[in-house]
Amino acid sequence: MKISITCALGAILGLSSLAIAGPNDVWLNEIHYDNSGSDVDEFIEISVGSAITPTDVVVHLYNGNNGTEYKTLTVGPLGADLV
């Protein structure tokens, strides 16, 4: 199984802190986005349920201004590939 998450920085899923993830859920939070000037110190938090392994997740990042994909991230074990 491969899960593909498509998102534009600045417009990623917003989930309530009270939401509870089930065993098949992927939880995605964008932290510190769209600061003025150049984009620095931004990151995405990814949490997966027990039925999903991190290697099942692929994240596609898109520019929110023009819709162009600029990076594809594979999560891998412990997020090792997210650099």
Is residue 25 pLDDT above 50, yes or no? yes
Is residue 69 pLDDT above 80, yes or no? yes
The mean per-residue pLDDT over the stretch 17-24 comes to: 48
Q: Is the pTM of this model over 0.75?
A: no
Phi-psi category of residue 65: left, alpha or beta, with phi > 0 → left and psi -120 to 50 → alpha? alpha
The mean per-residue pLDDT over the stretch 38-54 comes to: 75
* Type of residue numbered 7: C
Per-residue pLDDT at 32: 66
Is residue 66 pLDDT above 80, yes or no? yes
Residue 59 CA to residue 37 CA, distance in Å, equals: 24
Query: Looking at the DSSP assignment, which residues form a beta bridge with residue 60?
Result: 6, 72
Is residue 61 pLDDT above 70, yes or no? yes
Higher pLDDT, 31 or 46: 46
Burial per residue of 38-55, b for 16 or more beta-carbon CB atoms within 10 angstroms, e otherwise: eeeeeebebebeeebebe
